[in-house]
């Protein structure tokens, strides 16, 4: 069912906020024939005490596809989403404050871009030093000139 996937991570996080979790339990084995299907029940329970709040078996099952939720005859291009660089959640284009973490979108994007540039700079420096080492070729081990770039990368990697 669209929007009803028990293995969805976002869904699990949202349920967790309500103190709930889901568990999938087999209630009927599949027949021995190829491509036979078994039946599973989706059980929603409280994390605190394991009390069952809802089960898929207790809910009415749609016999016919519901026209209001059926796939449209013609597809549509989904809206483009952006990422909040503070919490990595998807946000819509018109948002200026993240609805998930409350961060200022613009500030978070600038900070992210600065950090990305800094990392690229460190990687460049290290690559240049590696290239210089390769040019020296094999030889007796010498004390390597690991200058600022290398130590900086090590110091900030944690």
> At closest approach, how far in Å is the CB of 99 from Zn ion?
8
Say if residues 28 and 37 touch (Cβ distance below 8 Å). Answer: no
Among 8, 12, 24, 101, binds Zn ion (CB under 5 A): 101
Site string for Zn ion, 104-123 (x = CB under 5 A): --------------------
| Interface with Zn ion, residue 13, by CB under 5 A | no
Residue 140 CA: distances (Å) to CA of 96, 129, 130, 137: 58, 18, 17, 10
> At closest approach, how far in Å is the CB of 101 from Zn ion?
3
Bridge partners of 25, per DSSP, are 41
**What order of strands is seen across the sheet that includes strand 20-28?**
20-28, 39-46, 52-55
| Interface with Zn ion, residue 82, by CB under 5 A | no
Nearer to Zn ion, 101 or 144 (CB): 101
Residues 6+ apart with CB under 8 A from 26: 38, 39, 40, 41
Among 11, 21, 82, 100, binds Zn ion (CB under 5 A): 100
Enumerate binding residues for Zn ion (CB under 5 A): 84, 86-87, 98, 100-101, 103
């Amino acid at each position: 069912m669209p929007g009803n996937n028990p293995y969805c991570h976002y869904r699990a996080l949202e349920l967790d906020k309500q103190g709930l979790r889901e568990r999938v339990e087999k209630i009927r084995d599949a027949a021995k024939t190829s491509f036979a299907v078994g039946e599973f029940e989706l059980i929603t329970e409280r994390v605190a005490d394991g009390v069952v709040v809802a089960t898929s078996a207790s809910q009415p099952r749609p016999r016919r596809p519901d026209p209001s939720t059926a796939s449209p005859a013609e597809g549509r291009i989904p809206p483009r989403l952006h990422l909040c660089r503070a919490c990595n959640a998807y946000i819509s284009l018109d948002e200026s404050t993240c609805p998930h973490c409350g961060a200022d979108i613009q500030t978070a994007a600038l900070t992210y871009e600065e950090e990305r540039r800094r990392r690229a700079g460190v990687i460049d420096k290290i690559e240049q030093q590696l290239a210089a080492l390769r040019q020296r070729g094999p030889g007796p081990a010498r004390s390597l000139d690991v200058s600022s770039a290398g130590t900086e990368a090590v110091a900030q990697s944690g």
